[in-house]
Amino acid sequence: MSRGPDATTLLERRLRIAAEAVGVTIAITASDATPWASATFNGARHRLTLVGEGAAFKRWVAALPDIDLPLRGHLVADLVVRRAVAGESVVVLEVLTVEER
């Protein structure tokens, strides 16, 4: 019996949906996750590299920390945008997801 997609897959899908909703096209060129746990929560730390172009992409990226990204069975607890290169067409996201109980 399949448990469904993992948090990384759900996060990638949700980012694409959120971008498309505002007319932005993104490519996710790298993605990895590391299991994470605290005394009360289990989850993962994700690092994703996104590529996009134009002013709409820049606005979308700037708004990402405040955008609701619902994931089935998980919560986005933290999202930080890092610039990967001097230009603004490549960004790295660091995202913490936790499992819902």
Phi, then psi, of 50 in degrees rounded to 5 = -115, 145
What's this model's pTM, rounded to 2 decimal places? 0.91
What is the tens place of the pLDDT at every residue in 5-34? 899 999 999 999 999 999 999 999 999 999
Structural domain spans, the chain: 1-26+55-83
Q: Which residues pair with 44 in a beta bridge?
A: 35, 97
CA distance 31 to 6: 13
Report pLDDT digits (tens) over 71-85. 999 999 999 998 766
